[in-house]
A and B are shown apart, each in its own frame.
Chain A
Amino acid sequence: QKEVEQNSGPLSVPEGAIASLNCTYSDRGSQSFFWYRQYSGKSPELIMSIYSNGDKEDGRFTAQLNKASQYVSLLIRDSQPSDSATYLCAVEFMDSNYQLIWGAGTKLIIKP
């Protein structure tokens, strides 16, 4: 059973600080990794994708992937109240079938 684990939170971070969100996955064959943001009552929207070990930066967001340790993280610098949302980690792989496994999400609260 392939699993993706996230701390459900809520994770409370002061405005302007760095928010760090973590995700672990069970299958070493996992190939692609995604972070989605979901505001309450809205649909998920893609924040970052990462496919190889290391860091990938996009504006205030940095995704970090460590395949050896089977974790992927998302850092949000200079956190803003508008970053308050649930962050979903999704892990993609293909063996006999395509599978995209989603974590349950971490609720992030940025306090002004």
Chain B
Amino acid sequence: DARVTQTPRHKVTEMGQEVTMRCQPILGHNTVFWYRQTMMQGLELLAYFRNRAPLDDSGMPKDRFSAEMPDATLATLKIQPSEPRDSAVYFCASGLAVMNTEAFFGQGTRLTVV
């Protein structure tokens, strides 16, 4: 069945280490979003892509976060170096457009930085 796939599901890492999260959007979807969810801040949009091009990453701390789409079937979110405050659940979502987007979420990557 069509769904957004994220890996890994869980990641525990030490402060200062690089973390890479991967997302496979639903086949045919041309818009990909990266979100972060914490109890304190709720859901925050970090970045989004349309047709693999980054349209906005203003929600990301640029000094340590980077997001890319090497091809239409893979989106990546990297944190280098990671910090304890990055601990959160990171969701990838995909959709068919940027506006009026009915987004479908992956299961998320639960990141813990110790």
Among A43, A51, A102, contact of B107 (Cβ-Cβ < 8 Å): A43
Residues from chain B with a CB closer than 8 A to the CB of A90 are: 43
Q: Given A98-B98, A102-B43, decide whether A46 and B103 contact each other with a Cβ distance below 8 A.
A: yes
Assess the A49–B100 pair: CB atoms within 8 A.
yes
A81 to B105, CA, bound (A): 23
Asked if residues B99 and A46 are in contact (CB atoms below 8 Å), the reply is no
Given contacts A44-B43, A88-B43, contact A31 B56 (CB under 8 A): no
Cβ of A42 < 8 Å from any Cβ of B? Answer: yes
Residues of B within 8 A of A102 (CB): 42-45
Interface majority SS on A: helix, strand, loop or mixed? Answer: strand
A105–B42 Cα gap in the complex (Å)? 8
Known: A42-B107, A45-B105, A97-B56. A32 touches B42 (CB 8 A): no
B102's partner among A49, A97, A98 (CB-CB below 8 A) is: A49
Chain B residues lying within 8 Å of A49, measured Cβ to Cβ, are: 100, 102
Task: Please determine whether A43 and B105 come into contact, CB atoms closer than 8 angstroms.
Answer: yes
Query: Which residues of chain A have a CB within 8 Å of any CB of chain B?
Result: 31-32, 34, 42-46, 49, 51, 88, 90, 92, 94, 97-100, 102-105
